[in-house]
Structure 1
Amino acid sequence: MTEDSKGPVAAEIEKRLIEAIGPTHLRVINDSAQHRGHAGDDGSGESHFTVEIVALQFEDMNRLERQRAVNKALGDLMEARVHALAINARAPSEIAE
């Protein structure tokens, strides 16, 4: 699945993060094909993701607080639909220009 043709889980991840965190940059990458046949692969093609997110609210948060904010925004998706999520959460001040 390409990034341009998001499945329903990837689209829901994106929607929830936009609503809860209001990122200045967001990229949801479906890594499921790399994990086909591994533990947690439910055969849906949408079980493993990487999220790259930049948000102003991350300025005063440490890495763990940022990950908790992302997980909280995703809520039940983390239990029901997503087996693995890699999170790269940064504040705008951490982006090299």
Structure 2
Amino acid sequence: MSVAKMMKEKLEREFSPCILELEDESYRHAGHAGANPEGESHFQLLIVSDKFDGVSRVQRQRMVYDVLAVEMKERVHALVLKTLTQKEYDAR
């Protein structure tokens, strides 16, 4: 199973997001330090979930990193996060 698929499954299970967009940006970092030649090392994530309601931005990021701890330790070098509630997403 791909790293992206595992990450999506974990995030869906934990946050029940109404929007989950995970983009593999590894191609933009080819040849850089930390870039895995197999790819799937750099990601950008947009996740919209009501589980973030009343939670600070820093705590939201910690919640996501806790769920993806194995992937962050073993394979993912960089993860750009945008964590929003439905209300915040609709207001942008």
Give the TM interval when normalised to the shorter protein.
over 0.9
Select which of 51, 54, 70 maps to 2:48.
54
Structure with a larger share of its residues in helix: 2
Aligned residue identity for 2:63: A
Over the matched positions of the two proteins, sequence identity in percent amounts to 35
Please state if 1:33 is matched with 2:63.
no
Select which of 66, 73, 79 maps to 2:73.
79
Alignment length (residue pairs): 91
Runs of at least 4 residues off by over 4 Å: none
Equivalent residue for 1:22?
16
Equivalent residue for 1:68?
62
Counterpart CA distance in 1 for 2:89 and 2:15 is 17
5+ residue gaps in structure 1?
1-6
5+ residue gaps in structure 2?
none
Give the RMSD, CA atoms, in angstroms: 1.2
